């Protein structure tokens, strides 16, 4: 069991977990994520990062009174809601019920965050913090951190900005998924090679070559304070969302 400190009450809850909203993934992470942790979800384009985020925000809180926040720095709200709706993840109903809040769109259009071309990562973090406090948010998705980490010019500034974001989210008791896109041909698990050292956990989505085709695989590369699966497991994106098969094992081929 894991001792987890509740950030608001100061009480240690033994073995508390927050469901990812995906049964097979929960089995890989000992029942769910530890509350208040920041998890990097990384993988190539089209691997299912946004799908995992949708499950986390909509299916994960079922049976609870948790409120969720989706921060998009790339895609328009209507496109995200429509795409996830086609595979059974109903963000529209969650938003109407008041349990899901959405902010953002393409980063150049986020008028509350930006003043013309004066992009400032700290302003974005403060805006996110304000929403979390006002709406009593417990689950956060940031899609994606690639654009956010591109704003500071120096690598150390990127590290400081990301650490500030993660510290803010944890201090407010939020369990957060930070989405990060990688290249198919790149073996790195993050854009700048620093993200995985700052977060509490890393979930990697792969395109694994098996024979003449590529198949999707998922692995837990890091999960502080928790036991977790160490194998690469297959998954599918179906008409009912993303399904992980935690009893099946995959092996790395010669490409992603």
Tens of pLDDT, residue by residue over 218-237, are: 999 999 999 999 999 999 99
Give the pairing of strands 100-104 and 67-72.
parallel
- Beta carbons within 8 Å of 161's beta carbon, 6+ residues apart: 121, 122, 125, 148, 149, 151, 152
Tens of pLDDT, residue by residue over 66-103, are: 999 999 988 999 999 999 999 999 999 999 999 999 99
- Is this prediction's pTM over 0.85? yes
156 CB burial (10 A radius; 0-12, 13-18, 19+): exposed
Domain spans of the chain? 19-244
57-66, 215-224, 246-255: least confident range: 246-255
144 CB burial (10 A radius; 0-12, 13-18, 19+): buried
User: Residue 223: its pLDDT value, please?
Assistant: 97
Length of the chain: 256
Give the pairing of strands 233-238 and 213-223.
antiparallel
Measured between alpha carbons, how far is 29 from 228 in angstroms, rounded to an integer? 5
User: Residue 185: its pLDDT value, please?
Assistant: 64
Q: Average per-residue pLDDT in the chain?
A: 88
Per DSSP (E only), the strands in the chain are 3-5, 12-14, 38-44, 67-72, 100-104, 137-143, 175-182, 201-210, 213-223, 233-238, 241-244
Measured between alpha carbons, how far is 231 from 216 in angstroms, rounded to an integer? 13
**Any alpha helices (H) in the chain, and if so which ranges?**
23-28, 49-58, 77-85, 91-96, 121-135, 145-150, 155-171, 195-198
DSSP 8-state symbol, 67? E
Confidence of residue 50 (pLDDT cuts 50, 70, 90): very high
What kind of architecture, by CATH, is found in domain 19-244?
3-Layer(aba) Sandwich (3.40)
Tell the residue number behind the tokens 């073996």, with chain if given: 187
User: Residue 101: its pLDDT value, please?
Assistant: 97
User: Residue 153: its pLDDT value, please?
Assistant: 85
Give the pairing of strands 38-44 and 3-5.
unpaired
């Amino acid at each position: 069991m894991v001792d987890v400190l509740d950030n608001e009450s100061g009480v240690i809850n033994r073995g508390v977990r927050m469901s990812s909203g995906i049964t097979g993934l929960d089995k890989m992470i000992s029942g769910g994520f530890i509350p208040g942790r920041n998890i990097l979800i990384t993988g190539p384009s089209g691997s299912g990062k946004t799908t995992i985020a949708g499950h986390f925000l909509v299916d994960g809180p079922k049976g609870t009174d948790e409120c969720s926040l989706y921060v998009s720095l790339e895609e328009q709200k209507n496109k995200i809601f429509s795409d996830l709706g086609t595979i059974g993840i109903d963000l529209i109903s969650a938003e109407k019920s008041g349990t899901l809040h959405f902010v953002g769109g393409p980063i150049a259009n986020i008028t509350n965050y930006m003043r013309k071309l004066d992009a400032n990562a700290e302003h974005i973090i403060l805006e996110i913090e304000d929403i979390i406090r006002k709406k009593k948010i417990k689950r956060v998705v940031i899609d994606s951190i690639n654009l956010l980490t591109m704003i500071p010019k120096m690598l150390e500034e990127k590290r400081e900005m990301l650490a500030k974001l993660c510290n803010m989210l944890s201090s407010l008791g939020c369990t957060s998924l930070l989405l990060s896109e990688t290249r198919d041909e790149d073996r790195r698990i993050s854009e700048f090679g620093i993200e995985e050292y700052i977060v509490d956990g890393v979930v990697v989505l792969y395109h694994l070559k098996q024979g003449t085709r590529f198949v999707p695989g998922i692995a837990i590369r890091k999960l502080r304070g928790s036991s977790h699966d160490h194998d690469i497991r297959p998954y599918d994106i179906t008409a009912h969302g993303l399904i992980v098969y935690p009893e099946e094992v995959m092996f790395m081929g010669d490409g992603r």
